[in-house]
Structures are given as structure tokens and as C-alpha cells.
Amino acid sequence: MKQKIRLGMGIASAVLLGIEILIGMYAHGWVRSYLGDVLVVILLYTLARTVSPVKPKHGILLPAAILVFAFCVEFLQLWGFCDRFHITNPLLRIIIGTGYSNIDLLSYAAGIVPCIVCELLLRRKRA
């Protein structure tokens, strides 16, 4: 992937991380519950695109992998991962999460849509 695109993805990752931290510290209601979940999958996508030298060959492979990862983390919350493994560190509990929600799965799916669009645009640009 071109350095310019990777740099752009890196900048997007930094901005999204900052927004996620602000949401975690100050936001309440739907912003924290839903927007944060939408943005976290986009953050994971931009991070992957920043460090990955692989050119997008299949338009939805990376976004699909990120969505599966997000779903797995959510199902670990349903299982009570943090409590079962006695994770008491507050930061780890926030990162991993402690409360399962079906709505979170929908939020992750909504967040992956712009990632798929971006992947298709990058693929088209490459062709």
C-alpha cells in the first residue's frame, strides 16, 4: 500500500483513538453506548491498514476479519471473561468490556460499512 495512504490511515487512527478516549472519559448515553462501538471497529480497521503492507485484493476480507474479532470480544463479555479470569484492572475491564448487548453487535456491523466502502475504493484505485 502506498505510504501516503498508510500515513492517512495512521492519522485517522490517532484521531479516532483520541475520540474514543474522550468518549470513554466524558460521554454518556447513546454516544458512549453506540457511537463508541461504531467508531471502535473503524479504529481497528485504520490501525490494521496503517501497519499492513498488504494491498487490498478482496474488498471485504479485512473488514470481515475485524467484524468477527469484534463479535468474539462481545461474546467473551457474554461469557463473563473478565470476571471468570479475575481481571480487576479498570483499564483492561474497559478495553475488554464487561456487559454484553445485542445492540453492540449491530453497532459493530454499522461501523464496518464505511470500512468496506474504503476497502472497495482502495481496491478500485489500485486497479
What integer pLDDT is reported at residue 56 of this predicted model?
67
Q: What are the C-alpha distances in Å from 70 to residues 8, 55, 74, 105?
A: 23, 22, 6, 8
- Give the separation between CA 18 and CA 90, rounded to whole angstroms: 19
Percentage of the residues of the chain whose pLDDT score is greater than 70:
92
pLDDT tens readout for residues 2-58? 788 899 999 999 999 999 989 988 999 999 889 999 999 999 999 999 998 666 667
Do you know the residue count of the chain?
127
- Residue ranges covered by each domain of the chain: 3-126
- What pTM value is reported for the model? 0.89
Angle, alpha carbons 108-110-115 (nearest 5°): 90
Q: Residue 124's pLDDT band (boundaries 50, 70, 90)?
A: confident
Contacts of 93 (CB under 8 A, 6+ apart): 82, 87
124 φ, ψ (degrees, to nearest 5): -65, -40
Give the least confident one: 4-8, 63-67, 80-84: 4-8
